[in-house]
A and B are shown apart, each in its own frame.
Chain A
Amino acid sequence: MAQSNSLWRRFTTSQVFWPLVALGLIMLFNAFFTPNFFKLEIKDGHLFGSLIDIINRGAPLMVLAIGMTMVIATAGVDLSVGAVVAISAAVATVLINPALGNTLIASDKLVENVTATPLPVVILAALVAAALCGLWNGMLVSRGRIEPMVATLVLMVAGRGIAQLITGGQIITVYYTPYFFVGNGYLAGVPFTLFIVAAVGLFAWLLTRKTAIGMFVESIGINVKSSFYSGIDEKNIKLLVYTFSGICAGIAGLIVSSNIKSADANNAGLGFELDAILAVVIGGTLMTGGRFSLLASIIGALVIQSMTTTMYAIGVPAMAAQAVKAVVVMVVILLYSEQFRTVINRLFARKEVQS
Chain B
Amino acid sequence: MAESDQVILTMTGISRAFPGVQALQDVDFNLRRGEIHALMGENGAGKSTLIKVLTGVEAPDTGVINLDGKEVQVKSPQHAQDLGISTVYQEINLCPNLTVAENILIGREPRRAGRIDWKRMNAEAREILLRLDVDIDVTRTLGSYSVAIQQMAAIARALEIASAKILILDEPTSSLDAYETSQLFGVMRKLKSQGTAVIFITHFIDQVYEIADRITVLRNGKLVGVYDTAALTHLELISNMLGRNLVELENVSKSRTRRAQSFSSEPLMQARELGSTGAIEPFDLDLYAGEVVGLAGLLGSGRTEIASLLFGIDKPDHGTLTYDGAVVRKYSPLASIARGVALSPEDRKAAGIVEDLSVRENIVLAMQASRGWFRFLSSAKQTEIADKYIKLLNIVTPSPEQPVKNLSGGNQQKVILARWLATNPQLLILDEPTRGIDVGAKAEIQKLVVALAEEGKACIFISSELDEVLRCSDRVVVLRDQEKITELAGDEMNETLIMQTIAGS
Instruction: Check B369 against A226 for contact (C-beta < 8 Å).
Output: no
Q: How far is the CA of A228 from the CA of B333 in the complex (A)?
A: 7
Which B321-360 residues have a C-beta within 8 angstroms of A? Answer: 332-334, 336-337, 343, 345, 350-357
Q: Report the tally of A-B residue pairs with Cβ distances under 8 A.
A: 73
Q: How far is the CA of A230 from the CA of B365 in the complex (A)?
A: 7
Q: Of the 9-residue stretches B29-37, B372-380, B474-482, which lies at the interface with chain A?
A: B372-380
Instruction: Tell yes or no: A57 within 8 A of B by CB.
Output: no
Query: Contacts A211-B374, A212-B372, A216-B369; is A225 near B350 (CB within 8 Å)?
Result: yes
Instruction: Check A291 against B356 for contact (C-beta < 8 Å).
Output: yes
Q: A211-B376, A231-B333 are in contact. List 4 more A-B contacts (CB 8 A).
A: A212-B374, A216-B373, A219-B354, A225-B350
Instruction: Check A231 against B355 for contact (C-beta < 8 Å).
Output: no
Residue among B357, B366, B419 with the most chain A CB within 10 A?
B357
Q: How far is the CA of A289 from the CA of B168 in the complex (A)?
A: 37
CB distance from B390 to the nearest CB of A (A): 18
Instruction: Tell yes or no: A50 within 8 A of B by CB.
Output: no
Instruction: Tell yes or no: A76 within 8 A of B by CB.
Output: no
Q: How far is the CA of A239 from the CA of B376 in the complex (A)?
A: 20
Q: Pick the contact of A230: B333, B356, B371, B376 (CB < 8 A).
A: B333
Which 3 residue pairs are nearest across A and B when measured between Cβ atoms? A231-B369, A231-B334, A231-B337
**Residues 215-244 of chain A, each 1 if its beta carbon lies under 8 Å from chain B, else 0:** 110110011011111111100000000000
Instruction: Tell yes or no: A138 within 8 A of B by CB.
Output: no
Query: Contacts A225-B350, A225-B351; is A230 near B369 (CB within 8 Å)?
Result: yes
Query: Contacts A218-B357, A226-B351; is A233 near B368 (CB within 8 Å)?
Result: no
Query: Contacts A215-B365, A219-B365; is A229 near B376 (CB within 8 Å)?
Result: no
Instruction: Check B357 against A229 for contact (C-beta < 8 Å).
Output: no
Q: How far is the CA of A233 from the CA of B374 in the complex (A)?
A: 13
Instruction: Tell yes or no: B320 within 8 A of A by CB.
Output: no
CB distance from B340 to the nearest CB of A (A): 12
Instruction: Tell yes or no: A213 within 8 A of B by CB.
Output: yes
Residues in B with CB closer than 8 Å to A225 are 350-351
Q: How far is the CA of A211 from the CA of B375 in the complex (A)?
A: 7
Residues in B with CB closer than 8 Å to A227 are 354, 365
Instruction: Check B357 against A219 for contact (C-beta < 8 Å).
Output: yes
Residues in A with CB closer than 8 Å to B432 are none
Instruction: Tell yes or no: B385 within 8 A of A by CB.
Output: no
Residues in B with CB closer than 8 Å to A211 are 373-374, 376
CB distance from B161 to the nearest CB of A (A): 29
Instruction: Tell yes or no: B361 within 8 A of A by CB.
Output: yes
Would you give 29 A-B contacts (Cβ < 8 Å), ordered by A? A210-B376, A211-B376, A212-B376, A215-B365, A215-B368, A216-B368, A216-B373, A218-B356, A219-B354, A219-B361, A222-B357, A223-B354, A225-B351, A226-B351, A226-B352, A228-B333, A229-B333, A229-B343, A229-B345, A229-B352, A230-B366, A231-B333, A231-B337, A231-B366, A231-B369, A232-B369, A233-B334, A290-B356, A291-B356
**Residues 161-189 of chain A, each 1 if its beta carbon lies under 8 Å from chain B, else 0:** 00000000000000000000000000000
Residues in B with CB closer than 8 Å to A218 are 354, 356-357
Query: Contacts A211-B374, A212-B373; is A232 near B356 (CB within 8 Å)?
Result: no
Q: Pick the contact of A223: B337, B353, B372, B419 (CB < 8 A).
A: B353
Residues in B with CB closer than 8 Å to A291 are 356
Instruction: Tell yes or no: B370 within 8 A of A by CB.
Output: yes
Instruction: Check A232 against B365 for contact (C-beta < 8 Å).
Output: yes
Query: Contacts A226-B352, A228-B333, A230-B333; is A213 near B373 (CB within 8 Å)?
Result: yes
Instruction: Check A233 against B369 for contact (C-beta < 8 Å).
Output: yes
Instruction: Tell yes or no: B313 within 8 A of A by CB.
Output: yes
Residues in A with CB closer than 8 Å to B419 are 230
Residues in A with CB closer than 8 Å to B354 are 218-219, 222-223, 226-227, 230
CB distance from A39 to the nearest CB of B (A): 42
Query: Contacts A212-B372, A215-B361; is A226 near B356 (CB within 8 Å)?
Result: no
Q: How far is the CA of A46 from the CA of B163 in the complex (A)?
A: 80
CB distance from B418 to the nearest CB of A (A): 12
Instruction: Check A223 against B373 for contact (C-beta < 8 Å).
Output: no
Residues in B with CB closer than 8 Å to A230 are 333, 354, 365-366, 369, 419
Instruction: Check B368 against A212 for contact (C-beta < 8 Å).
Output: yes
Q: How far is the CA of A233 from the CA of B350 in the complex (A)?
A: 18
Residues in B with CB closer than 8 Å to A222 are 354-357
Q: How far is the CA of A76 from the CA of B355 in the complex (A)?
A: 19
Instruction: Check A231 against B370 for contact (C-beta < 8 Å).
Output: yes
Which A220-276 residues have a C-beta within 8 angstroms of B? Answer: 222-223, 225-233
Q: Pick the contact of B353: A215, A216, A226, A290 (CB < 8 A).
A: A226
